[in-house]
Amino acid sequence: MTKNLRLLEFKINKFDFQFVDGIKGGTVFNIKPEIECKIGKNGKTLNAFLSARVNENNSSPVPFNMYVILVARFGILKEAQDSEFVKEAFEELYPFLRSSIAGAMANFNVQPYFLPIISPYNLSADAKVDGDLN
């Protein structure tokens, strides 16, 4: 695969986490994170926004509510379709988002939650990876 982007910088822009009170013992959790990737181009620079959300609106019940936003800036090495830029940005950034969430939860002294391992190149047709910041 030809690389169209070069990662210049990224940071976690937001990390909200809150335990859900009143969960009864023996509750089975079926956590379904909502993951979104959006991009915006500015000349030879591409800005990316990758977020992960877990709350009672996405899956119920959940032991915690979480909303994490990672923002990044890429240099455009070669022009491509926006859908390819989204996939490439997602593939580059998702491992950082995944490890940041697991690491932070370990630092909270709770069992880490690992986002599922996914690739933008093998998602189902109803998955939402495309997005535009513009």
Q: Which residues of 48-69 are buried (b: 16+ CB within 10 A; e: fewer)?
A: bbbbbbbbeeeeeebebbbebb
* CATH 3.30.465.10 is held by the domain 5-21+28-107: no
End-to-end alpha carbon distance in the chain: 27
CA–CA gap between residue 44 and residue 75 (Å, rounded): 6
What pLDDT, on the 0 to 100 scale, is given for residue 122?
67
Residue 125, pLDDT above cutoff 50: no
Beta bridge partners of 132: 39
pTM above 0.85, yes or no: no
What pLDDT, on the 0 to 100 scale, is given for residue 134?
44
Structure tokens at 116: 């599922």
Average pLDDT over residues 32-50: 93
Residue 108, pLDDT above cutoff 50: yes
Sign of CA dihedral 55, 58, 63, 66: negative
The domains of the chain are located at 5-21+28-107
Which residues lie below 8 Å from residue 125, measured CB to CB, with a gap of 6+? none
Residue 15, pLDDT above cutoff 80: yes
What pLDDT, on the 0 to 100 scale, is given for residue 59?
56
Residues 45-64: tens digit of each pLDDT: 999 999 999 987 755 788 88
Residues 82-104: tens digit of each pLDDT: 999 999 999 999 999 999 999 99
Cβ-based burial of 18 (10 A; exposed 0-12, middle 13-18, buried ≥19): exposed
Q: Which residues of 114-129 are buried (b: 16+ CB within 10 A; e: fewer)?
A: ebeebebeeeeeeeeb
Q: Where residue 68 falls among pLDDT bands split at 50, 70, 90? A: very high
Q: Per this entry, what is the length of the chain?
A: 134
Phi, psi of 91 (to 5 degrees): -60, -35
